[in-house]
Amino acid sequence: MSKEIRENLQKLLVVGISYRKSALDVRGLFSLTSDDQEKILKEAKENALDSMVILSTCNRTEIYAHSSQLDLIIDLFLKYCKGSREDFSNNGYTLFGNECIQHLFRVTSGLDSQIIGDFQIVGQVKDAVHKSEKFGMVNAFQNRLFSFVFQASKKIKNTTEISKGAASVAHAAVQYIKDKVSTLESSNFLLYGTGDIGKDTCENLLKHMNNRSLTLVNRTIEKAEALANKFDIKYETVEKLSQEINKAEVIIVATGAPKPTVTLDHLEKAESCKLILDLSVPRNVDCAIDNLDHVLVITVDELSKHISKSIEQRKACIPDAEKIIQSFIGEFYAWLEVKYLSPVIVALKENLHKVQQKELDYHKNKLSDEELKKVEHITNNIVNKIARACINHLKDHHKQQSSPMETLNMIFKDMDS
């Protein structure tokens, strides 16, 4: 790989924090709302950055960029999250070049998820890329990289069993309820929040409920109504949240807000025992509720401990998934080689055809039309053979970190005389 490509690769970086090093409460400090992400993208563009993708999920918050301005990117990250520089220093990470590429492929393919094979992540990464594209913040380098990343993720999902079985956050929540709630058919359920995780949880929960005693509440009533109509269940406005919490024995919170949406005030009149599953990061259920004797609060991190044996089966698929990833990374590197050699190859062919045309022009008055056609055909074959040999020569020199243009100038230095 040439020095030029290696230097450009090293500009690819990710700044982030994830469940691997950080507990839920710490990750919550670095979670970025959609508005925060847009502000970062706008400010990054104002500072002449041309490529940045921001991913913020319950397991991680990461900023992928193609830039040499690492300090600026970290400053923007810390400006819009609640975590301090010291918090990031102790819990965060920064990866460059090949390490960043390997990490991105593993994240998008579900290999780095808290629940292995959770393919909800690929949709979240695509959404992040689309958001950046709207701000003109995905350059050609990053665009092609994400294209290979999504192809690899699709192939892993279609050709391995790494996503087989129920093991997403939504599935884990429903599995926990099935295991712990003996009165599943008679209990009243409340789902607060109808985003992606809320929708998945709703659909999976209803598969195990015959009485349909599930009520939806969402800050935007139209979203709750649409989901309720789809499954023929009840919904209420957010103004009636306290009443619905009081009626429900099982409460699932998936609101994705930057601060708690279920507080002590909501439970002050509650008398019966309640199970609350908080699927949000940061936590959307006030930590003070944990101390109530009649309430059990289960968080995302705790849910991950209750995944079924399908996780072990998924782990067995990791080697096959890794092989697919390495194959697509190889294709990306091959694309880089072609990208950087393309101008040189074009110049090579142009020079060869100039030499050919110069010689044909010199001899055309001495040849008949028929003879000229034969000579032109022969010289075309010669030019193509020389081009192929030179291109292979250029690629070899490129891999040895020689300058392609220097090699090209050397090849044609004597032809100008």
- Which positions are catalytic? 58
381-390: long-range contacts (C-beta < 8 A, 24 or more apart)?
382/356, 383/352, 383/353, 383/355, 383/356, 386/352, 387/348, 387/349, 387/352, 390/348, 390/352
Contact at 8 Å (CB) between 176 and 205? no
Rounded-to-integer distance, Cα 192 and Cα 235, Å? 10
The DSSP element (H or E) to which 16 belongs, if any, is strand 12-18
- The vertex-38 CA angle with 154 and 34, nearest 5°, equals 65
User: Which of 411, 334, 328, 349 minimizes the C-alpha distance to 152?
Assistant: 328
What count of other Cβ atoms lies within 10 Å of the Cβ of residue 397?
Answer: 17
End-to-end CA distance of the chain: 33
Contact at 8 Å (CB) between 214 and 205? yes
Rounded-to-integer distance, Cα 239 and Cα 131, Å? 31
Rounded-to-integer distance, Cα 270 and Cα 348, Å? 79
Contact at 8 Å (CB) between 325 and 385? no
HEC readout, 343-399: HHHHHHHHHHHHHHHHHHHHHHHHCCHHHHHHHHHHHHHHHHHHHHHHHHHHHHHHH
What count of other Cβ atoms lies within 10 Å of the Cβ of residue 136?
Answer: 11
Secondary structure (DSSP) of 54-79: EEE-SSEEEEEEE-S-HHHHHHHHHH
Backbone angles phi, psi at 62, to 5 degrees: -140, 145
Rounded-to-integer distance, Cα 289 and Cα 11, Å? 45
